[in-house]
Structure 1
Amino acid sequence: MSEESAVKTPATAPSDVVSSIRGFVAANGGSAKAVLQPTGQAGVRVTLVGDDGGALGDRVVDDMDTATAVVDAVDGLETAEWDRELTSAADVRPAHWRKMAGWVAHQKRFPKPRNRKILD
């Protein structure tokens, strides 16, 4: 490994992500918590919990260094972990539950599981 490849360049925060998170923080009382969660090849999910009301939001970035750079770039945003205090503060609204449920939210009948033979 050469010296040039061993030197790591600092990650830069994507401007569109920083802009949207600044808007979220401003709409939620000027401060929020960010939980950084690696999601494999997809990158790192930055889950936001607003301090004023516990609204949820999220963005996905390429890697942990970029996620840390995003948190550093936004005033009023601090890194946190999912602990009892933060999960109690988070307010999952009914619209958010419906969004997470996707197509299943409005179904009256459900199909048989595709992996039924594996389960039996």
Structure 2
Amino acid sequence: MSDQTPASQSVVAPPSAVNAARRFVAEHGKTGRAVVQYLGRKGARVTMVGEDGALGDVVVKDVATGEAVVAAVEGLELTGWDRETTAQVRIGPAHRHRMAGR
């Protein structure tokens, strides 16, 4: 049995992930960018970048579900880690300390 969803089946975005993404966009601007990344067995991560440069994420079961989450949120654009997306990210000292394990 394959882990991939057949093209004939539509993917349903989990309401909890959609709500979290909507809250993120509302708190960090009216629009945002989202990058869906495959995590292996754990699923996929939807990393969001708000208008203000804040980062947020949700983890879902697979890439198709992540793309469905992005499609369900008004103002959220599916993109990759391109120049515009990375330039929009603003990482503050608190985030850098947390990522360094401090």
Same fold, TM-score > 0.5, yes or no: yes
Q: Distance in 2 between matches of 1:9 and 1:19?
A: 23
Partner of 1:22: 22
More helix by share: 1
Identity rate of aligned residues, in percent? Answer: 47
1:95 to partner: Cα distance: 1.8
RMSD of the alignment, in Å? 1.7
Paired amino acid for 1:12: V
Partner of 1:11: 11
Give the 3-state SS of the residue equivalent to 1:36 in structure 2. Answer: strand
Pairing 1:1-120 to 2, within 5 Å after superposition: 8-51=8-51, 53-102=52-101, 105=102
Aligned residues: 98
In the alignment, structure 2 segments of 5+ residues that lack a partner are 1-5
In the alignment, structure 1 segments of 5+ residues that lack a partner are 1-5, 106-120
More strand by share: 2
Q: Which protein has the larger Cα radius of gyration, Structure 1 or Structure 2? A: 1
Residue deviations 1:14-44 (CA, integer Å, cap 9, x gap): 1111111100001112100000111111111
Q: Distance in 2 between matches of 1:7 and 1:55?
A: 34
Runs of 4+ in structure 1 deviating by more than 3 angstroms, as ranges, are: none
Structure number with the bigger relative contact order (C-alpha 8 A, sep ≥ 6) is 2
TM-score w.r.t. the length of structure 2 is 0.87
